[in-house]
Chains A and B, each alone.
Chain A
Amino acid sequence: MKSCFITLPTLTAAQMAESQLRRSGIQCRIQRSPKWMEEQGCGNGITVPFDVFDKCITILKNNRIPYKKAYLKDEGGKMEVLEL
């Protein structure tokens, strides 16, 4: 199943995102971002199902939770940047 990885500037932002998405019935998982994703060093992100990606971004925007970039992860684990 395709999934998306959204990077956020702080662990707290990732936790707020997780909390808000769960309230909307969207299961997600906080993970440390792979090193290559973070130009500014260590960071955190959330993995969400691809089919609710747009909804997730809307929820983050509506709750003023800052996010940085998003990546699409295919079944094979290959990742590509998503336009936001």
Chain B
Amino acid sequence: MIYLDNGATSFYKPQSVKQAVIKAMHQCASPGRGGYKAAQNAGKTVFRCRELAGALFDCLPDRVVFTSNCTHSLNMAIRTLVKPGDRVVVSGFEHNAVMRPLYALNAKIYIAGRELFDNKDTIRKFEYIVKQGVDAAVFTHCSNVFGYILPIKDMAVICRKYNVPFIIDCAQSAGVLPISMKELEADFIAMPGHKGLLGPQGTGLLLCSRLPEPLHFGGTGSQSALYEMPEYLPDRGEAGTLNVPGIAGLAAGISYILKTGTNQILLEERQAARAVGEFLGQNGFAVFLGEPQTGTVSFIPHTDCEHAASVLDRHGIAVRGGLHCAPLAHESVGTLDTGTVRLSFGVDSSEKQVFEVKKILKKVMNEL
């Protein structure tokens, strides 16, 4: 299978990730729940992952809260900053992991910047809305549908200038683009562990500059005589037993990223996406290519997008058709009615893979 659905989850993980999961299952009990060897092993395993995440994202290890996925992280961050009825500015490319929690809070949502690959427009409209007065900002680093990289540094500067607390959704960028918590000074940065960071599913991270409001309440292995959650990071956001095997695998994934470098990963994924995107464009499909873009590219097939995705599946290419849980992004670009077929390349992308994809596309072109 040629796997081009890395926007959903990475599938081909480094061998070291699988080995780390198995090792943890053999050697680790629950971290912080005892002084015996297996509990200590778990504590060390989890702390190593915090340190690696701190190294990759330029933050202290205790600022790294482990969650079960990026949606979990976003919910915790949004519930901390946004109160019912608050005014919140978002970009025009948000995923439902941002939009649904905001709707659930009955937030007044202002959408800033709906022009694909137009950073100037995004910045101008974002500042215009922030200047009017908002209670919080939530924006994605990168569109999960179109691979559009938003100007988050400029958006962060605007938020700080107007004292607006903000959350960055790095679901598609963690492990692919450089992210510095220190430089961005975001209140929270949310990310999955199982996409670009190459960890197992069931892992996520929330980088915190401030104490989050817990989503879950329960045991932390600390301050157990209190009925309130601890006022310390990371325990405040980590009630219940952690996913230690998952976190062990995530540490191996982050370690792989640190060794390879996000620049190299981005370069290869982007080259692959561009090559295939241009090929589709040359063959009469509407393809969304632009700058700045990651290794994710969408196109509109001549048939139904789900049908096109199933044709590709029959020929060994795994892609995702539809709305990709991001109706707002599709609405911004005008593809809400048709949906798109998304090809999102991963760390296994190569010239050989591109050659194979083009070969299959050529063969099934009339069915798409």
Residues in chain A within 8 A of chain B (CB atoms): 9-13, 15-16, 19, 30-32, 38-44, 64, 66
- Interchain CB contact (< 8 A) of A31 among B35, B62, B224, B235: B35
Is the CB of B104 closer than 8 A to any CB of chain A?
no
Distance in Å from the Cβ of B232 to the closest Cβ of chain A? 5
Q: Do the beta carbons of A40 and B43 come within 8 Å of each other?
A: no
Distance of A3 Cα from B34 Cα, bound (Å): 23
CB contacts (< 8 Å) of A43 on chain B: these are: 222-223
The size bracket of the interface on B is: 20 to 34
Distance of A30 Cα from B233 Cα, bound (Å): 18
Is the CB of B281 closer than 8 A to any CB of chain A?
no
14 A-B contacts (beta carbon < 8 Å): A10-B233, A11-B31, A11-B47, A12-B234, A12-B235, A15-B50, A16-B61, A16-B62, A19-B51, A30-B43, A38-B225, A41-B223, A41-B224, A42-B221
Q: Do the beta carbons of A9 and B61 come within 8 Å of each other?
A: no
CB contacts (< 8 Å) of B224 on chain A: these are: 40-42
Q: Do the beta carbons of A11 and B43 come within 8 Å of each other?
A: yes
Distance of A19 Cα from B43 Cα, bound (Å): 13
CB contacts (< 8 Å) of B44 on chain A: these are: 15
CB contacts (< 8 Å) of A42 on chain B: these are: 221-224
- Interchain CB contact (< 8 A) of B232 among A9, A38, A41, A64: A9
Q: Do the beta carbons of A10 and B225 come within 8 Å of each other?
A: no
CB contacts (< 8 Å) of B32 on chain A: these are: 10-11, 44
Q: Do the beta carbons of A10 and B51 come within 8 Å of each other?
A: no
A31-B35, A40-B226, A44-B32 as given contacts; A11 in contact with B221, CB under 8 Å? yes
Distance in Å from the Cβ of A46 to the closest Cβ of chain B? 13
Distance in Å from the Cβ of A43 to the closest Cβ of chain B? 6
CB contacts (< 8 Å) of A39 on chain B: these are: 225
Is the CB of B230 closer than 8 A to any CB of chain A?
yes
Chain A residue at smallest Cβ distance from B63: A12
- Interchain CB contact (< 8 A) of B47 among A15, A32, A41: A15
Distance of A10 Cα from B62 Cα, bound (Å): 9
Distance of A42 Cα from B220 Cα, bound (Å): 9
Is the CB of B99 closer than 8 A to any CB of chain A?
no
Q: Do the beta carbons of A10 and B222 come within 8 Å of each other?
A: yes
Q: Do the beta carbons of A10 and B35 come within 8 Å of each other?
A: no
Distance in Å from the Cβ of B223 to the closest Cβ of chain A? 4
- Residue from A11, A31, A44 having most chain B Cβ neighbours under 10 A: A11
Distance of A13 Cα from B43 Cα, bound (Å): 12
CB contacts (< 8 Å) of A31 on chain B: these are: 35
Q: Do the beta carbons of A10 and B235 come within 8 Å of each other?
A: yes
Add 19 more A-B contacts to A10-B220, A11-B32, A40-B224 (CB < 8 A). Answer: A9-B223, A9-B230, A10-B32, A10-B222, A11-B31, A11-B43, A11-B221, A12-B61, A15-B43, A16-B61, A30-B43, A32-B34, A32-B35, A39-B225, A40-B226, A42-B221, A42-B222, A43-B222, A44-B222
- Interchain CB contact (< 8 A) of A40 among B47, B62, B223: B223
Is the CB of B22 closer than 8 A to any CB of chain A?
no
Q: Do the beta carbons of A12 and B50 come within 8 Å of each other?
A: yes
Chain B residue at smallest Cβ distance from A15: B47
Distance of A16 Cα from B63 Cα, bound (Å): 11
Q: Do the beta carbons of A12 and B62 come within 8 Å of each other?
A: yes
A11-B43, A13-B62, A16-B61 as given contacts; A66 in contact with B232, CB under 8 Å? yes
Contact with A along B231-257 (1 / 0, CB 8 A): 011110000000000000000000000
Contact with A along B244-284 (1 / 0, CB 8 A): 00000000000000000000000000000000000000000
CB contacts (< 8 Å) of B230 on chain A: these are: 9-10
Is the CB of B60 closer than 8 A to any CB of chain A?
yes
Q: Do the beta carbons of B222 and A9 come within 8 Å of each other?
A: yes
Q: Do the beta carbons of A10 and B232 come within 8 Å of each other?
A: yes
Distance in Å from the Cβ of A42 to the closest Cβ of chain B? 4
Distance of A47 Cα from B234 Cα, bound (Å): 22
